[in-house]
Amino acid sequence: MATDIVILAAGKGTRMKSSLPKVVHRLAGKPLLAHVVDTASTVQGVNIIVVTGHGSDLVRKSISNRSICWVEQSRQLGTGHAVLQTVPHLQANSKVLILYGDVPLLSEQTIDDMLAVVAENNLALLTVKLENPGGYGRIVRDQAGRVTAIVEQKDASTAQLQINEVNTGVMAVDSGALRRWLPKLGNNNAQGEYYLTDLIAMAVDNGYHIATLHPTHPEETEGVNSLDQLSRLERYYQRRVAQQLMTAGVTLGDPDRFDCRGTIDAGMDCFIDINCIFEGKVSLGSGVSIGPNCQIIDAVIGDNVSIRANSVIEGPVTIGRDCVIGPFARMRPGTELQEAARIGNFVETKKATIGRGSKVNHLSYVGDATLGDGVNIGAGTITCNYDGANKFQTHIEDGAFIGSNTALVAPVAVGKNATVAAGSTLSKDVPEGSLALTRSPQRLVQNWKRPVKKAVTE
């Protein structure tokens, strides 16, 4: 049986107090809607239909790299009206699962369970029991415990308001039923909207059995209607990732001061200190130590690497085993460190290969460069790789020693075991084993008298 997943993402989100559509606000570095689409995409052969309205162009651009059938709801007349817009795009005899673009943390397992149940029971409804059910539609059951209706809070009686089982909005039903029932929805309610929840009463009247399921964690069904709710879901998400890492053997300085905005996998005996941010795809070998306040993006980090405080790694970056980085280092895309290389404080690298055991320890910039093994780069060294129009390469071979405050004007090469004296500006190649220096001769002026301030007269 074919599967359609409809995601409702047309709302403005007035309580967000933002000019952005609600579903493009980010959780863990990714738009809310992208979370829902990515989870839905795990269903094999699924047809994903997203209903947009407010800020439709921005919503589409926010997840433009997914395979989606886009449908626009030009007038926001309720959830039932939104799903009605998708009917021409539903497959024949399909199972239809209805999700929401502002409910980002529904699990793959819950989606699979919903689709499995609807195949057997005609209609599946995801509900949750809350201590404080205020604001939610209540699940009304008969004396036998069968679901008979969903009543929105504004339309509920005093007795119905005491019910603590509430509707999450997530339901699954066959496409044929949707085609029959959606045109029959009315808007005779306090909001004057076409409620999708009214389908439950129609299903009961048509002899359908309503199967109810509950999520493993209530947070799966929590929607985002304000920035406060967004922040609470963010911390829940981050705490869950932190728990997974700790279960896998990673020590965290403080699980509540950890942020993952992508994916991270780690070997044994890793340590991550406070306020570290991981983005994109990050892989840590065993024994990796990361100091506080580091940002790591799209990096592969080998065993026993030490990344010291306040360092930024912007990938793609590859770091070999036993390297030391920082503190206050910045490694930009295209950097590759071989085993036991060292990048020190206030050093920046970009499109640079640093050989085994080589050192760039202080206050230097190495870009568009290849360093061999055992190279030493002195403080204040710069590879001058850009002439204002084009980039050029610097090649430094094994064992070369570059003195402090050196400018290497690319294209230029320094041979094996060559030495460049401190304070030099190189624009020509340096042969193997030689010394290069461009320093001006030192002059001495005997009996030099320093200038003195002139007296200020009124």
Q: Which residues are catalytic?
A: 362
CA distances from 409 to 6, 113, 221, 330, 406 (A): 58, 63, 58, 21, 10
Residue 337 φ/ψ, nearest 5 degrees:
-105, 130
CA distances from 377 to 57, 366, 383 (A): 50, 9, 11
**186-192-194-198 Cα dihedral, nearest 10 degrees:** -70
Report CA 334 to chain centroid distance, whole Å.
21
What's the CA gap between 384 and 393, in Å, rounded?
Answer: 9
Of residues 293, 265, 294, 260, the one with CA closest to residue 278: 260
Of residues 290, 298, 296, the one with CA closest to residue 274: 290
Structure-block tokens of residue 167: 């509707």
Report CA 244 to chain centroid distance, whole Å.
17
What's the CA gap between 77 and 187, in Å, rounded?
Answer: 9
